[in-house]
Amino acid sequence: MLPYGRQLIEEDDIAAVTAQLRSDWLTQGPMVAKFEEALTGLTGARFAVAVSSGTAALHLAALAAGVRDGDTGVTSDVTFVASANCIRYAGGKPALADVDPTTGHISLPALRSVVANLKAAGKPPRVIVPVDFSGSVADLEGVRAIADEVGAMVIEDAAHSLGATYTSREGERLKAGNCRHAQLAILSFHPVKHITTGEGGAILTNDEGAYRELLELRTHGITKDPARLTKVDGPWYYEQQSLGYHYRLTDVQCALGVSQAGKLDRFVARRRAIAERYNQAFGASPFRELLKPLAARPGVESSYHLYVIRLTPAPDETSSSVAARRRALYDGLRERGIAPQVHYIPVHTQPDYQRAGFSEGNFPGADAYYAGCLSLPMFPGMTDADVDRVVNAVGEVLTP
């Protein structure tokens, strides 16, 4: 079965982990700092804090952004639920903005409307969480402009976009996660992401104060910094100065991360080559009349965490009919030994969010996107023959 995504672990990765297992450090050692240094090099951010998962990164980023009981935050309706849940973890209440179905990114008009409504209700958002969907960077500058109007912080959910770049309105080429247009950004190192530590994540920031806070939050709120202690009772002494969490990443995982980080450029280059091969095939008949690959925003060079296609609706075709055709394509590919995936079920349709008051019909962009989307296999270990196999299978199902 050809999966939609998977890790690429090579012999030097295994050697790096083995060497760490033979070292004096398994956790809370020097390899964590080495991995964090590698991440700042890959993104351009000043500081990185490695944590146990992308979800942990989102949680701590929300806390560092000041989200507390009674606050509100806004994120995209098409994302993994953690992007919205992090606001709830910090005590806030999430609001959802619709997406542009051609890109999967948060819609700036929809975001502006949601923010205006929250402001009118006396609850302007404390934080906005744009999602770099599928590997393409969201319009961070546009989101930041809306956030600045109400004093909100921006957390870039860059779990999909490590290795991607975008051109700013001033013409500067920037890396995903650089924190130029967001106060904080987060990464994920799940096995299907661009590099992996097994499970793991990181928060990026250019703010030294936020960085110091994040270091404490990931380790129970504890500090040993002599300058911050209220007293000194011996060299063993520490203080819990805030309520933190056990969100540390181990040295063993970071050894894998350091090894993988050195391969990011190669991995992303292969993802882009796979995407180009797909694009050439799907840009020709009969595919171009039947489906469209998810678009990237102008000026963005995607790192292709996912390769998403959307079935093209026929004139006057209902969403339920498109969804039925998507299901037939999904099943047909699996019958041919290919395992696609759907990213993502809109957050507003989840029972937990419906109980919180979100209702159907308020997110037409998300609903239109979801009805026809399908993620095809995309990972650096794929061969050209694998790509051609997927293309041929899609053709067999759609044009029997």
Give CA–CA dist 305/157, Å, rounded: 13
Give CA–CA dist 378/243, Å, rounded: 40
Neighbour tally for 331: CB within 10 Å: 12
Q: Decide if 163 contacts 176 (C-beta within 8 A).
A: yes
What's the DSSP call for residue 338?
Answer: B
Give CA–CA dist 400/396, Å, rounded: 5
Dmax of the chain from CA atoms? Answer: 77
Give CA–CA dist 39/34, Å, rounded: 9
Strand-pairing partners, residue 166, are: 174, 300
Q: What is the CA radius of gyration of the chain?
A: 22
Give CA–CA dist 399/394, Å, rounded: 8
Instruction: Quote the tokens at residue 19.
Output: 């060497």
**Cα 308 vs. chain centroid, distance in angstroms?**
15
Neighbour tally for 292: CB within 10 Å: 17
User: What's the one-letter identity of residue 98?
Assistant: D
3-class DSSP state of 228: coil
Give CA–CA dist 73/67, Å, rounded: 8
Q: Decide if 28 contacts 42 (C-beta within 8 A).
A: no
Cis before 286? omega within 30: yes
Give CA–CA dist 267/163, Å, rounded: 9
Count Cβ atoms within 10 A of the Cβ of residue 232 and give its class: 0-12 exposed, 13-18 middle, 19 or more buried: exposed
Count Cβ atoms within 10 A of the Cβ of residue 319 and give its class: 0-12 exposed, 13-18 middle, 19 or more buried: middle
Residues recognised as catalytic: 193
